Amino acid sequence: MKGKVYLVGAGPGDPDLLTVKALRLLRAADAVLYDDLVAPEIFSLIASNAQLHNVGKRCGKKKIEQEQINFLMVGLADSGLNVVRLKSGDPMIFGRAGEEIEALRQADIPYEIVPGISSALGAAASIEIPLTHRRISSAVVFITAHHASGSDAINWAKLAGSGGTLVIYMPGPNYAEIAGKLRKAGLTDDVPCALVSKATTSQQRVHLTTVGRLKGAPQLPAPTLLVVGEVVRMAHADSIGQFATSLTDGQSLSSIFIEDAPSSFRAEEPVA
């Protein structure tokens, strides 16, 4: 008898943000195929006798081709194992679930998709930025920087210039290029931005800046997200401060967003 494949969202990192269903499936899985970006805290929840397969394809360096992942996933299920294909965040948002679903359908393997907290939602909760706000922004866009180059069917400038909150997944190291594209889409230098690294984990780091100063932002460890828009002004000093020592007592968070704020301010510095 064939096993079943569960395409499961692992959420942003904090194991407490797994869904009840994801936790139950991880505990019962015969085999787990996971990405590099899945937070290590999650692994202790997997049944100790389960097969573990790292099928990560991090930062464009394809260690394993998608076709190989599909082949392994189908093969394990075909041999009768219940397989969890664990993806960071949500499988349906920048998770390549579409391609894996096609492979599973083609191979006639039973499967089910279990949503997860997408990283943007985890980051927003953690640093207290509402992604939509009745008075500030009534739309939110999830996009990747990768497709900013223009060869894609997506009109990046339309999305960036829509006035909605923008969440850029996998912004990559070239912040100057992103800032240039944001300006080209009509955003002014004073629009606030938040870089969030390893959202919701104990290693979370946050850097608040503006479009004008984005190019000088530090490179934070992946996975990172860049949130752009007026809602970023709502970020809370205490929630950032848990991960930053340099926010001095009484310093207003809004001072970060003033172009001439002291450059020594670095919200991203880790707790000593």
Strand-by-strand arrangement of the 165-169 sheet: 165-169, 224-228, 192-197, 205-210
For residue 48, count CB atoms less than 10 angstroms from its CB and return exposed for 0-12, middle for 13-18, buried for 19 or more.
Answer: exposed
Contact 116, 9 (CB under 8 A): yes
- Least distance between a copy of itself and beta carbon 95 (Å): 8
Residue number, 113 or 214, with CB nearest to a copy of itself: 113
- Least distance between a copy of itself and beta carbon 267 (Å): 18
Q: Which long-range contacts (CB under 8 A, 24 or more apart) does 25-28 make?
A: 25/84, 25/114, 26/84, 26/86, 28/82
- Least distance between a copy of itself and beta carbon 216 (Å): 27
- Which one of 21, 57, 78, 215 is the catalytic residue? 57
Q: Is position 35 annotated as part of the catalytic site? A: yes
Residue number, 2 or 96, with CB nearest to a copy of itself: 96
Q: Is position 152 annotated as part of the catalytic site? A: no
Rounded Cα gap, residues 173 and 72, in angstroms: 32
What is the greatest pairwise CA distance in the chain?
66
- Least distance between a copy of itself and beta carbon 130 (Å): 4
Contact residues for a copy of itself (CB under 8 A)? 9, 11-12, 14-21, 23-24, 90-99, 101-102, 105, 113-118, 121-122, 124-126, 128-144, 146-147, 152-156, 158-159, 161-164, 231, 234, 236
> Where in the sequence numbering do the catalytic residues fall?
35, 57
